[in-house]
Amino acid sequence: MKRDVSETLAAGPSCPIPFSDYPQVLMAHGGGGKLMNQLIEKMFLSTFKNSLLETRHDGAVFSLGNTRLAFTTDSYVIRPLFFPGGNIGELAVYGTVNDLAMCGARPRYLSAGFILEEGLPMETLWQIAQSMQRAAEKAGVQLVTGDTKVVDKGKGDGVFINTAGIGIIEYDRPIAPASVKPGDRVLLSGDIGRHGVAIMAVREGLAFETTIESDCAAVSGLVMALLEAGIEIHCLRDLTRGGLASAIVEIAEASGCSIQLEERNIPVREAVRGACEMLGLDPLYVANEGRFLAIVAPADADRALQIMRAHPLGEGASLVGRVTDDRTGLVSLKSLVGTSRVIDRLSGEQLPRIC
Amino acid sequence: MKRDVSETLAAGPSCPIPFSDYPQVLMAHGGGGKLMNQLIEKMFLSTFKNSLLETRHDGAVFSLGNTRLAFTTDSYVIRPLFFPGGNIGELAVYGTVNDLAMCGARPRYLSAGFILEEGLPMETLWQIAQSMQRAAEKAGVQLVTGDTKVVDKGKGDGVFINTAGIGIIEYDRPIAPASVKPGDRVLLSGDIGRHGVAIMAVREGLAFETTIESDCAAVSGLVMALLEAGIEIHCLRDLTRGGLASAIVEIAEASGCSIQLEERNIPVREAVRGACEMLGLDPLYVANEGRFLAIVAPADADRALQIMRAHPLGEGASLVGRVTDDRTGLVSLKSLVGTSRVIDRLSGEQLPRIC
């Protein structure tokens, strides 16, 4: 009765050409760079083709009845499970809450799917669940539905968590790469690189003079403050896998607008800069879990900065760039010494399993 | 800078007593039986405490604006990835579609979160993605948002998929265990045990005279037909992990009503019965992926059965039991030879990684 798997595989269209170069999934396919982008484009977007998916947003935005909703999902596979400044449970709540916020939505309901590895200490799971609940309370969301699966020892890695989220869009403003216009200002909500460096430091067993903690937090409150103040936000993007550089490249590509960044305005803490040098990382590409870019109409940039700086999660906010008249969709960075270079997606993989 | 994990763990309330008996997660914690029920109750329901979660339904049901929605999630960790009658991709679509249907909702939008193991053949992923799209088309849903993570070789198992789903509740009828009343009739949509037996047969390398294929399918069309016909449905439940027995025990417990089942009315195909005997399985506890129970008002039972039998996925539908006046919340089964026995949750684990 066993059917040959290859027989099942033979049905349907064949795999798109570029994958002949990559017969197998590599770690870099999850790293936030070029390979991941290619995988998502060729594998998933081409297969699941629909208008909602094609916006290349952090979530899908649609209307049901008279209500406009955002819907998003992320799986969390970070290791170690506990790190300075947080754990996988908090991350699973904040990450999805932030994706909803990046759609301009007020996060409301989360689902939680756990994939547990046989042998996981029950105490660890308990602590993670407790953290998730505390994070949900902080972020103003409820965990309303869930699922638990267990896989054999050696077929998982402690615990993986998926969360999906639903948020309500209360302000009717098209927040998406397509809304970005020449002249728009690029605002960054604070210093970058802490999450990735905190994780790498733990993994590598590095000790610095000061502890670098992840910036992991829910930024939805800050985003709602901007929306409530009527700031004309054109696009929002959180700076997770691939960091600030990958986020801005994605926006530039999707909008077809070029963006110029000023390195001297991008805050990086001294300890993070030092750690990056030691680890051979570029802070521009390092993951964050509580930082985002807001691309706003030029007339609203100053007011938006004031609002951000008045919020605990935006104290270090700064104007880091602007959208130029050039329509090549490229990102350039003016360095501290005044030279300019083009910013691209990472071709390899920088930090595996960072979220 | 490394903080001791035990220090982080020390914060917050301590783990509930029963887990001292289970210091680690066991395979049975995901098996659909007593241990899984205990894990969900003590670990997750007690931590994420809220009214939506407490309904113990297949999904959360709530209103946003003037729209009533259902929201649900499931992770899929089945092995092998391809099996007679389906693969993990179809299962990931149909399983979540069915959970929405069990809330009485019309499934609309799905998210998809992939956790890929380094080394997964790209061709396998392509075939799974193609299957998901075909399944989504069949079920009338769109895959609108997603996420891809990659874990190191040996830290996953090919591919795990999480889907979350949103459906619209068009018929204002409280479909939940709490609506079950004495006198209600229990309808089963068709023969049971095929999914679990198909998987086990592949794993054990068994050959039967006829191929047993999984029943994996989207039952939402059939459920919508019942709702459109105005059938007074009190509760719906699909018969996945733990099979018919676990589903009915859960409903009886949650409703506080006792239920009496008639074994002779529960269809089991000859090949499935034979395989179960060979494998030492009880078909009542074997997982299905296209079968459900509908508990309906007695006056509507005949009409509901007619509607079910007229649908390709309900051809073998049958009246399998009734809700009694007794309020002990127990399930009893009248066997073929006329004796009666109490049906309980499985205490151990029957079929690991069946979905």
Domains and CATH numbers, chain B: 50-169 (3.30.1330.10), 177-343 (3.90.650.10)
CB contact (8 A) between residue B164 and residue A3? no
| Residue appearing with tokens 């007695």 | B298
pLDDT at A235 over 90: yes
- What lies within 8 Å, CB to CB, of A267 at 6+ separation is A188, A190, A191, A192, A316, A318
Q: Dump pLDDT digits (tens) for A292-307.
A: 999 999 999 999 999 9
Report CB contact under 8 Å: B8, A157: no
Per-residue three-class SS string for chain A:
CCCCHHHHHHCCCCCCHHHHCCCECCHHHHCCCHHHHHHHHHHHHCCCCCCCHHHCCCCEEEEECCEEEEEEEEEECCCCCEECCEEHHHHHHHHHHHHHHHCCCEEEEEEEEEEEECCCEHHHHHHHHHHHHHHHHHHCCEEEEEEEEEECCCCCCCEEEEEEEEEECCCCCCCCHHHCCCCCEEEECCCCCHHHHHHHHHHHCCCCCCCCCCCCCCCHHHHHHHHHCCCCEEEEEECCCCHHHHHHHHHHHHHCCCEEEEHHHCCCCHHHHHHHHHHCCCHHHCCCCCCEEEEECHHHHHHHHHHHHCCHHHCCCEEEEEECCCCCCCEEEECCCCCEEEECCCCCCCCCCCC
Lowest mean pLDDT among A110-114, A142-146, A156-160, B13-17: B13-17
Selected for mutation to probe chain A from B162, B206, B349 (highest A CB count within 10 Å) is B162
Over residues A222-248, mean pLDDT: 97
pLDDT at B52: 86
Query: How far is the alpha carbon of A331 from chain B, nearest alpha carbon, in Å?
Result: 25
* Chain B CB contacts of A206 below 8 Å: 1
Token pair in block for residue A196? 């990735």
User: What pLDDT, on a 0 to 100 scale, did the predictor assign at position B117?
Assistant: 98
Q: Are B32 and B240 in contact (CB under 8 A)?
A: yes
* ipTM greater than 0.90: yes
> According to the model, what pLDDT value does residue A59 have?
92
pLDDT at B57: 76
* CA nearest to B48 within chain A: A133
3-state secondary structure of B96: helix
Interface contact A22-B353, CB threshold 8 A = no
Q: Which residue of B has its CA nearest to A29?
A: B150
| pLDDT value at residue B18 | 66
pLDDT bin (cut points 50, 70, 90) of residue A4 is very low
Picking from A120, A144, A207, the nearest residue to B53 by CB comes out as A144
Task: Answer whether residue A57 shows pLDDT above 90.
Answer: no
Confirm if B239 and B287 have CB atoms less than 8 A apart: yes
- Residue B81 host element (H or E): none
Give contacts of A131 with chain B, Cβ < 8 Å.
Answer: 12
Average pLDDT over residues A72-98: 97
What pLDDT, in 10s, does the model give residues A199-217?
999 998 887 767 899 999 9
Q: Which residue among B82, B130, B154 sits closest to A47, beta carbon to beta carbon?
A: B130
Is pLDDT of A6 > 50? no
Interface contact A129-B80, CB threshold 8 A: no
Q: Do B80 and A117 touch (CB under 8 A)?
A: no
The confidence score (pLDDT) of residue A11 equals 53
What pLDDT sits at residue A168? 97
Q: How far is B68 from chain A (nearest CA, A)?
A: 9
Statement: the pTM of the whole predicted model exceeds 0.90: yes
Q: Are A186 and A319 in contact (CB under 8 A)?
A: yes
User: Is there a contact between B30 and A116 if contact means CB atoms under 8 Å apart?
Assistant: yes
Q: What is the structure's pLDDT at B268?
A: 98
pLDDT, position A76: 98
Closest CA of chain B from A162, distance in Å: 7
For residue A84, give every residue at least 6 positions away whose Cβ sits within 8 Å of its Cβ, in sequence order, or none.
A198, A201, A202, A211, A212, A213, A214, B1, B2, B3
Q: For residue A297, how many other CB atoms are within 10 A of its CB?
A: 16
pLDDT reading at A16 higher than 90: no
Question: Distance between CA A259 and CA A271 in Å, rounded?
Answer: 28
Query: Do A44 and B148 count as a contact with CB atoms less than 8 A apart?
Result: yes
Are B62 and A23 a contacting pair at CB < 8 A?
no
| Contact yes or no for A71 and B111 at CB 8 A | yes
List the single residue in B66, B67, B166 with the smallest CB-CB distance to A71.
B166
State the pairing for strand pair A259-262/A331-334. parallel
Given a cut of 50, is residue A9 above it in pLDDT? no
- Cβ of A75 and B115 within 8 Å? yes
By C-alpha distance, the chain B residue nearest A23 is B122
Number of Cβ within a 10 Å radius of residue B156? 27
Candidates A161, A175, A159, A179; CA nearest to A80 is A159
User: Residue B148: which of A40, A108, A150 has the nearest Cβ?
Assistant: A40
Alpha helices (H) along chain B: 5-10, 34-39, 88-102, 122-139, 194-204, 220-228, 243-255, 270-279, 301-309
CA distance B50 to B38: 18
For residue A205, give how far its alpha carbon lies from the nearest alpha carbon of chain B (Å): 7
> How do residues B291-318 score in pLDDT, each as one tens digit?
999 999 999 999 999 999 999 999 999 9
What confidence score (pLDDT) does residue A18 get? Answer: 66
Q: Do B145 and A9 touch (CB under 8 A)?
A: no
Banded pLDDT at A12 (limits 50, 70, 90): low
Structure tokens belonging to residue A50: 């629909």
Residue A125: which residues within 8 A CB-CB, separation 6 or more? A114, A116, A159, B25, B43
Residue B10's pLDDT is 47
The pLDDT value recorded for residue A17 is 52
Walking along chain B (355 residues) 10 residues at a time, the average pLDDT comes out as 42 67 92 90 91 82 94 98 97 98 98 98 96 98 97 98 97 92 98 96 81 96 98 97 95 96 97 93 96 98 98 98 95 95 85 89
Secondary structure of B175-217 as H, E, C letters: CCHHHCCCCCEEEECCCCCHHHHHHHHHHHCCCCCCCCCCCCC
Inter-CA distances, B142 with A178, B97, B108, B163, B295, Å: 22, 11, 6, 12, 29
- pLDDT, residue B114, reads 98
